[in-house]
Structure 1
Amino acid sequence: MKYVFPLFITAALLTGGLTAEDIGISSGNARLLLHQDPADQSYSLAFEAAGKIMRTYEPEKPLSLEVNGERIDGSYTKVSQENGTLICQGIVTSKHGTQFLFTDRFLAEKPDSFELRRNVAIQNDSLEDHFFNSLFGIEVTAKSSLEDSEYFVPGVWYRTNFKTRMAGALAKNPNDHYFLFREDRLPLPLAMLRNVSDGGTVSMIHAASEPTTFTGDRGEERVVDERMQFGSIGVRQLDGTSLAFMFPGSEGEQNHVAWRSTDRWALRSHPVKKGIQHHYKLVISFSKTATYPDAVETTWKHAFDIYQPKIRPVDVKAAFRGLVETLDHYAVSRGYDAPGFPFSVNLPSGTARAYNYQMGFIGRQLPNAYVLIHQGIAGKQNDLRIKGEEIVDFWAANSLTGDGLPRTWYDPAKGNDAKGSWRKSDNPRGGTAMRVATTGMEGMLSAYSLDKRNGTDKPAWLAACRKFGDWLVANQNDDGSYYLAYSHQLIDGRHPPTETSKFTTTNPVRFLITLHQTTGDQRYQDAALRAGEFALTNIHHTYNYVGSVIDNPNVIDRESGQEAIYAFLALHDLTQEKRWLEAAVQAARYAETWMYAYEIPVEIDSGVTDFPKDRSIVGQTLIATGQSAADLGFAFSSFDYYRLYLFTGDPHFLTIARLLVHNTKQALNWDGSLYPDQPKGLQLEAFSVTVPRRKGVMECLSWNYTAHLDPLVRFQDAFGSMDIEAIEKLPLAKRQEFNRSVMKPR
């Protein structure tokens, strides 16, 4: 629905020096203003919000082009109105005589928002004009520096970009003048700027984007082709700070077109010729937000509602069965000196590439073993249960060092007399990372509680969990934090940190709380609360979600948002304090901004792709800044988003939960159609959404199974069904009752 507001004409003196006859549109508290120059009868464009005038990319010149790499600007010469829409036209002529006819249609999109529908047609094209781009922008703050504002470009630019070490990131250098990002690498094509001093917030969304391209769209040299129909969006910093959009989408001053960021532009242009399709729709919105998280939420939800991502239903129960059967298929208990699952499986052949075992993170040996036990009990399949229990037995008996720090990665040996070995590191800095240890040991603790509830006591499993819990209590920093990783070597009776970042302090919280509830030991609860207080101050309040992608440490990433959700939700379950729920909600709002919520098609002339051509990428997520890879890892959080929906009543969280249950399985062989005659749990580990589109890692890793299985098991245990659509048919009061009872020994 479009909101139609009356046009106005005023002769009053307006803030910012606009005088004489001004034409415009009102939308809520914002106005779009066209001012006519009496000298030549041309029109300039500006916006007014909260008494502040914001002019276009080139003040007084709303029409901006680059032709053969040179900037030329122009004004509107004709303005008319039709049913609440301002229709503005102008011609910009190149020095060689080519005429570029701009037709811009402005209307009120919703209160405090305007829609621009732009079309550029070429007339009298000159053979000396070879390529062009059009631009639109708003100078939000005049005579300003980058530090005066906060920024949001999903998956690329957050509040702490300039404060965080991020090799390869696109928005890392505050001395750059241009921060334009190809929209096909963004989960939604938008950029937002919030003034720190007054909370004034302006966003620009490329609406109705269909970002097509072709296989020649590669490398950093200029590419000229009309098949490129994507834009670039971001920020320009000169004397003032502007939101900017370029079409087609050149990327710079840093680019990832050559995979890793480089200090140069990757230029993309359209040819100068008649009949070319050069049009786009932008939505520009104005508001005043109390905080940066409020600005992110408002902007993201606005774009999300514009695109309304479609849910792609799968048979969840069939997918679950296929995943369990795949675990069963690849699990080994003989032939190696330790049981487990292969670290990776080749695609499309389905052959195991490597049998090495990592307890958590991307290896997920223990969480997967827990699922086998769970399904062995639920389905009365004792062979599954035995396989899972053998894996947990191995880790409980062998992984912990003398004082309780787990060794997390094991290379099994083949043959009866051979002996495997433990790796010295699970991360680039060496030693044991908390992310690996806690995700693994949570699996062991869940397996212990499950077996205990079903009549089998495994005291060695609980002893191992307690030993690690005791290590966490003894090695917690005075401020409540934990370091990212610790050495396996003892120095002066302690394991020194190999990576001193504290931003992964969220990682052990849920394990500690579950261990407290399993054992009744108050020390574990106290450690969890102290870690929570540190995380609340240093992660939540600063909006700094960093470091949980441990193979790419100390960068802003999606998984740190997910880990924060788990920690803060567990603390809320423990205490019922509102502040923990608020922190979980903020982390969830942040994490979802990494999820692709619109379609980015494969190249028009593409051949075979790794991620299937005919499947949707909606629901897949970027992993971290400093790279452009995407994966299905957001599937882990479907259960938690559903819980947040029940706690808050926000239907948006329900939509996200449904997307994560269904759409994350687009690359899963759940129906056997992707990899015929291969296990149905196989799927692509990671891939590129932008160029080269849908090329990826042709392997399936152990974590890929867990990402789907873990939340579905949690749904089953909490709500009696793993089918979110069936759960939604239960009475709301019943669902809320189940939700309040989630955090109990599993």
Structure 2
Amino acid sequence: MQKFLLFITGLLFIGCTSKLNDDNLPAGFSWNLLIKNAGNPAATYPLTAKRSGKGYRLYSDDILPVDLFLTVRVNENKILLNLTIEAKRNIDLNFSGSYFPVDIVPANTEFLLPGFWYHLNQRSPENAPGIKKGASWMVREDRLSTPMAGVFDSTQKVAFVIFRNDKVNQDVLLPYEYGEVLLGSETELGGIGFIREKESVGLLFSYPFIEKPYTYRHKLTLLPSLTAFNRMQAGEKKQVSWEIMRINASSYSEFVEKAWSIGFDHFRPEPISVTLSDDSVKHILSEYFRESFSECGNLRSSSGVELHIDSCERRGIFEIGFVGRVLMNAFNALQYGYEKHDSLMVIQGRSVFESYDKFGFNNAGLLREWIDCRTGREADIFSLRRQSEGVSALVHFLAYEKENNRMHDGLERKTFHLVKCLQALQRPDGSFPRKFDAQFRIRDFSSGSSSTVIPAMILASSYFKDTSMFNTACKAACFLDREIVAKADYFSSTLDANCEDKEAALYALNSYYYLWLASDSDAKPHYLEQARKVSFFALSWYYLWDVPFAPGQMLGDLGFKTKGWGNVSVENNHVDVYAFEFPEVLKWLSEQTGDVRYSRMADLILSSMKEQLLPRPGHLCGIAKPGYHPEVVQHTNWDYGKNGKGYYNDIFAPGWVVCSLWEMLTPGRSKEIIQQNLLHR
């Protein structure tokens, strides 16, 4: 017989003077039970706690079809609430609770749902979760990198978090997308969130899940609220657990840091067992280099954008930076070809750079960043991020070739000119525009992606020994200090979503790492401290737990573990293998700060992303060709457009994915360029 036990743990709240091991229920909690009969609206039973022996019975004015017994343990650090539910008859139920901390002022509060909601999600588009669509939100736990919700009072410098405490191993298929949904069996997923009312702010939790005021079902598609009902048989008991904690924090950044640390220490995620060596993984990934190589007109490139997962055909769409990463993939192929004495791979990689040297720049000196060779269409609006990623790839290629006594004077000049063009876009406050045209007229004024140019400037300044490029990077970093890090506002780096996102934090973190590498000893402490602050926002997007899948969902049947994978953005609620240099930077932070959590997360990410969904013979993972690693991995009740939880979207871009994994497995290359060419200032 199963048992259902609810643990809620928390630090004592403002004004609470309970003694150690007190068993009195603190004020601020409320409870509801929903019972649903098929074909009828659910009946709601508000619950009251009444002392009974060593605990409390939760009762209603009506006769309940369940017994609810609550025990309480309070000390100076924690409140433990243990709830047992026993069904008297066959029922479908949903249990929910709320906690309203004392003296939290709604006007001063911001919220956290890791990997899903930051501050007020005020930058989210109209049809994505955000404050524009509702002041109170509750979501299913598998949407969150840590099943946690938090509220921060910026005036009183105090925060409260609630997070799931027990193992969650089971999920079921949803028969309906919204409304009151009878599951017909049992999911172990609960709901978690926050409530903001005129006079009070609270934390919400439920079992099974509730999503309100909307459920985020597809990209930019909000559906009406959803309440799930688990089925219980007469005499059955069930178990579930949460924790609530109070945190003292001087800022929202410190709140996120402490919340992530609490989550990490609680879940203690361990690396996943791997069977393939790094060299074996690269050998499999190199199949993408071979299979995707394309010739279209006068350009040579890999075709890794807008492919179908069931064919992985060559589409002839060439994209310089994200999401194609054609130049960096060409460099990786070239370097790997030399290492493995694969002459064909060397020829193919070199031919990409030769073709872009001759035909890959426009008259303004910018890289032709997106081209569809089939239709002749070409982007006439350019992005800071793609141009900067192109610069980084070109510098890697030029440095590698120069080291091996192969010079490319013409490409050097074009790369230098491109960097100067990007420098000219910097505004007086140090920021850069997100997008511009060939006449360098600004088409997107958003400054959130300014960090994407800093690594490119540092690499270029090192290679060309140009102090002005380094100064440009430093000036941009001053903008990050004031407007991004100080305000804990990381946004607009994902090209298909201008909102709060993981990549904005990761680019800011990389920027400070590169600046630390390139700077003298006096500046290093500042860049290290900024990197430390940013790191927790980056880390907060990565899963500390394994979400469950329903039987028959492919990802679950493959044994896929989500821990170590990162949510993408508020708009794009799926996981992927965006890592690149992140593990390298985490290990550097661990060395510099002595915090072993960093190195443990690096090991987790490396192990989890390395081979779980790597398509290879006998283990294609739903992808047509070996080496074409999946991109949009849908781990929750959301999809980019097709297929839903447990599968991929039908269209994917393996170009950046392969590039990310390759960079993750080849640490230190940028560091070597920077340190070998340090400017003497």
Number of the residue aligned with 2:513: 569
Number of the residue aligned with 2:279: 317
Asked whether the equivalents of residues 334 and 349 of structure 2 are also in contact (C-alpha less than 8 Å), the reply is: yes
How far did residue 651 of structure 1 move?
A: 0.9
Greater shift, 705-714 or 361-370, is seen at 705-714
| 1:714 counterpart = 2:667 | yes
Number of the residue aligned with 1:424: 379
Higher relative contact order (CA 8 A, sep 6+): 2
Q: Scaled by the length of structure 1, what TM-score is found? A: 0.81
Asked whether the equivalents of residues 254 and 265 of structure 1 are also in contact (C-alpha less than 8 Å), the reply is: yes
Number of the residue aligned with 2:627: 681
Amino acid paired to 2:20: I
Amino acid paired to 1:583: Q
Taking a change above 3 Å as real, the CA distance of residues 212 and 272 of structure 1, as seen in their structure-2 partners, is closer
Q: Deviations over 1:632-690 (max 9, x none)?
A: 11355222222222222211111111122221134433653322997542221112111
How far did residue 603 of structure 1 move?
A: 0.9
Q: Distance in 1 between matches of 2:513 and 2:279?
A: 26
Number of the residue aligned with 1:179: 137
Q: Deviations over 1:259-285 (max 9, x none)?
A: 545363111123465234433111221
Number of the residue aligned with 1:730: none
How far did residue 741 of structure 1 move?
A: 4.4
How far did residue 179 of structure 1 move?
A: 1.2
Task: Find the residue that maps to 1:161 and give its secondary structure.
Answer: coil
Number of the residue aligned with 2:294: 332
Taking a change above 3 Å as real, the CA distance of residues 115 and 394 of structure 1, as seen in their structure-2 partners, is farther
Once the two structures are superposed, the pairs formed by residues 202-351 of structure 1 within 5 Å of their partners are: 202-210=160-168, 212-225=170-183, 226-238=185-197, 239-257=199-217, 260-262=220-222, 264-271=224-231, 273-314=233-274, 315-333=277-295, 336-344=297-305, 349=310, 351=312
Number of the residue aligned with 2:431: 481
Q: Deviations over 1:213-241 (max 9, x none)?
A: 21135401211234122111111123311
Taking a change above 3 Å as real, the CA distance of residues 619 and 198 of structure 1, as seen in their structure-2 partners, is same
Q: Distance in 2 between matches of 1:618 and 1:437?
A: 32
Once the two structures are superposed, the pairs formed by residues 378-397 of structure 1 within 5 Å of their partners are: 378-397=339-358
How far did residue 403 of structure 1 move?
A: 3.2
| Of 26, 45, 57, the match for 2:29 | 57
Number of the residue aligned with 1:199: 157
Gaps of 5+ in 2: 1-8, 36-41, 638-643
Q: Distance in 2 between matches of 1:565 and 1:198?
A: 29
Q: Scaled by the length of structure 2, what TM-score is found? A: 0.88
| Of 581, 597, 608, the match for 2:544 | 597
Q: Distance in 1 between matches of 2:263 and 2:479?
A: 33
Taking a change above 3 Å as real, the CA distance of residues 322 and 270 of structure 1, as seen in their structure-2 partners, is closer
Asked whether the equivalents of residues 397 and 460 of structure 1 are also in contact (C-alpha less than 8 Å), the reply is: no
How far did residue 629 of structure 1 move?
A: 2.0
Taking a change above 3 Å as real, the CA distance of residues 23 and 155 of structure 1, as seen in their structure-2 partners, is closer
Number of the residue aligned with 1:632: 577
Number of the residue aligned with 2:128: 169
Greater shift, 278-287 or 475-484, is seen at 278-287
| Of 697, 708, 711, the match for 2:649 | 697
Taking a change above 3 Å as real, the CA distance of residues 409 and 100 of structure 1, as seen in their structure-2 partners, is same
Amino acid paired to 2:491: V
Number of the residue aligned with 1:364: 325
| Of 562, 566, 573, the match for 1:617 | 562
Asked whether the equivalents of residues 141 and 190 of structure 2 are also in contact (C-alpha less than 8 Å), the reply is: yes
How far did residue 487 of structure 1 move?
A: 1.5
Q: Distance in 2 between matches of 1:301 and 1:253?
A: 29
Task: Find the residue that maps to 1:76 and give its secondary structure.
Answer: strand
Task: Find the residue that maps to 1:591 and give its secondary structure.
Answer: helix
Number of the residue aligned with 1:723: none
Gaps of 5+ in 1: 9-13, 27-31, 35-44, 47-54, 81-87, 414-419, 426-430, 719-737
Task: Find the residue that maps to 1:340 and give its secondary structure.
Answer: strand
How far did residue 332 of structure 1 move?
A: 3.1
| Of 66, 70, 85, the match for 2:34 | 66
Task: Find the residue that maps to 1:222 and give its secondary structure.
Answer: strand
Taking a change above 3 Å as real, the CA distance of residues 739 and 311 of structure 1, as seen in their structure-2 partners, is farther
Taking a change above 3 Å as real, the CA distance of residues 197 and 119 of structure 1, as seen in their structure-2 partners, is same
Once the two structures are superposed, the pairs formed by residues 84-123 of structure 1 within 5 Å of their partners are: 88-93=55-60, 95-104=62-71, 106=73, 112-123=77-88
Q: Distance in 1 between matches of 2:677 and 2:313?
A: 36
Greater shift, 371-380 or 514-523, is seen at 371-380
Q: Distance in 2 between matches of 1:611 and 1:687?
A: 12
How far did residue 197 of structure 1 move?
A: 1.2
Q: Deviations over 1:554-611 (max 9, x none)?
A: x00011111111111111222242221222222221111111221112113x25x267
Task: Find the residue that maps to 2:159 and give its secondary structure.
Answer: strand
Q: Deviations over 1:8-46 (max 9, x none)?
A: 9xxxxx996x9xxx97535xxxxx661xxxxxxxxxx21
How far did residue 546 of structure 1 move?
A: 0.4
| Of 400, 404, 407, the match for 1:450 | 400
Q: Distance in 2 between matches of 1:321 and 1:534?
A: 41
Amino acid paired to 2:421: W
Taking a change above 3 Å as real, the CA distance of residues 678 and 254 of structure 1, as seen in their structure-2 partners, is closer
Number of the residue aligned with 2:368: 407
Q: Distance in 2 between matches of 1:742 and 1:187?
A: 38
Q: Distance in 1 between matches of 2:101 and 2:80?
A: 17
Asked whether the equivalents of residues 616 and 666 of structure 1 are also in contact (C-alpha less than 8 Å), the reply is: no
Taking a change above 3 Å as real, the CA distance of residues 536 and 56 of structure 1, as seen in their structure-2 partners, is same
Amino acid paired to 2:648: G
Taking a change above 3 Å as real, the CA distance of residues 33 and 202 of structure 1, as seen in their structure-2 partners, is farther
| Of 550, 553, 556, the match for 2:495 | 550
Number of the residue aligned with 2:334: 373
Amino acid paired to 1:168: N
How far did residue 471 of structure 1 move?
A: 0.4
Q: Distance in 2 between matches of 1:466 and 1:114?
A: 61
| 1:76 counterpart = 2:50 | yes
Greater shift, 257-266 or 620-629, is seen at 257-266
Taking a change above 3 Å as real, the CA distance of residues 378 and 246 of structure 1, as seen in their structure-2 partners, is same
Larger radius of gyration: 1
Greater shift, 677-686 or 457-466, is seen at 677-686
Task: Find the residue that maps to 2:667 and give its secondary structure.
Answer: helix
Task: Find the residue that maps to 1:216 and give its secondary structure.
Answer: coil
Asked whether the equivalents of residues 643 and 739 of structure 1 are also in contact (C-alpha less than 8 Å), the reply is: no
Number of the residue aligned with 1:158: 118
Q: Distance in 2 between matches of 1:191 and 1:541?
A: 22
Q: Distance in 2 between matches of 1:299 and 1:708?
A: 28
Asked whether the equivalents of residues 190 and 205 of structure 1 are also in contact (C-alpha less than 8 Å), the reply is: yes
How far did residue 424 of structure 1 move?
A: 2.3
Task: Find the residue that maps to 2:50 and give its secondary structure.
Answer: coil
Aligned residue pairs: how many?
Answer: 648
Asked whether the equivalents of residues 307 and 315 of structure 2 are also in contact (C-alpha less than 8 Å), the reply is: no
Task: Find the residue that maps to 2:662 and give its secondary structure.
Answer: helix
How far did residue 258 of structure 1 move?
A: 5.6
Number of the residue aligned with 1:40: none
Amino acid paired to 1:75: A
Number of the residue aligned with 1:530: 475
Task: Find the residue that maps to 1:375 and give its secondary structure.
Answer: helix
Taking a change above 3 Å as real, the CA distance of residues 98 and 675 of structure 1, as seen in their structure-2 partners, is closer
Taking a change above 3 Å as real, the CA distance of residues 160 and 564 of structure 1, as seen in their structure-2 partners, is farther
Q: Distance in 1 between matches of 2:334 and 2:645?
A: 39
Q: Distance in 1 between matches of 2:444 and 2:43?
A: 46
Number of the residue aligned with 2:641: none
